[in-house]
Amino acid sequence: MTDQNTSRVRFLGIPNKKARLLQCGGHDENGQKPERMISDGSGFPCRHCLKPILNNEGVLVLSYRPFEDKQPYAETGPIFLHSDLCEEHQDNEELPDNIRSQGNTLLRGYNADNRIVYGTGQTVKSETVKEAALDMFKNEKISYIHARSTTNNCFTCRIERT
């Protein structure tokens, strides 16, 4: 693996098409309409724009599977989205707000077949996620990384090498 392939990472929220479907009344991974609530301003990171859902903003609570196909490693779990349309996260190589606010982040590497690369799971200080991801990508078996909440294991975002 060359240094050029591991010198940068990008952070991806859930795809715009999926977010719009859910924000416009579509069903989640369990076939249910997302629950709606109002944010109290703490603990509601949007998985699309990768920013916090502020006090008195609408929140969608739903089940999400960050994999296209159902398979044994395709975990499904709860996430939050702005209930109103929000802008898709535009990666600028900066650590997204929703990771920065976690304190600690669980990173887990996946291969090209969307299977966990065993032994890659690690908890890191959130401010070191970028460096930890770059280090993980030295393992040629890793195609992408999931960042997850350490307290609830919720999907935070996808990390890819650029």
- Provide the residue ranges of all domains of the chain, joining segments of one domain with +: 3-12+91-161, 16-82
Cβ-Cβ contacts under 8 Å for 143 (sequence gap 6 or more): 110, 111, 112
Q: What is the mean pLDDT of residues 57-63?
A: 97
pLDDT of residue 93: 81
Q: Is 147 helix (H, G, I), strand (E, B) or coil?
A: strand
Using CA atoms, how far apart are residues 133 and 30, in angstroms rounded to an integer?
Answer: 31
Task: State mean pLDDT over 55-74.
Answer: 94
**At 6, is the pLDDT very low, low, confident or very high (cuts 50, 70, 90)?**
very low
Predicted local distance difference test score (pLDDT) of residue 4 = 44
* pLDDT category of residue 5 using cuts at 50, 70 and 90: very low
Bridge partners for 144 per DSSP: 110
Task: Determine the Cα–Cα distance for residues 89 and 14; give it in Å rounded to an integer.
Answer: 9
Span 68-107, pLDDT tens digits? 899 898 999 999 999 999 999 998 888 999 999 889 999 9
pLDDT one-digit tens code per residue, 102-145: 899 999 999 999 999 999 999 999 999 999 999 999 999 999 99
Strands (E), 7-153: 9-12, 35-38, 58-64, 77-82, 104-110, 122-125, 144-149
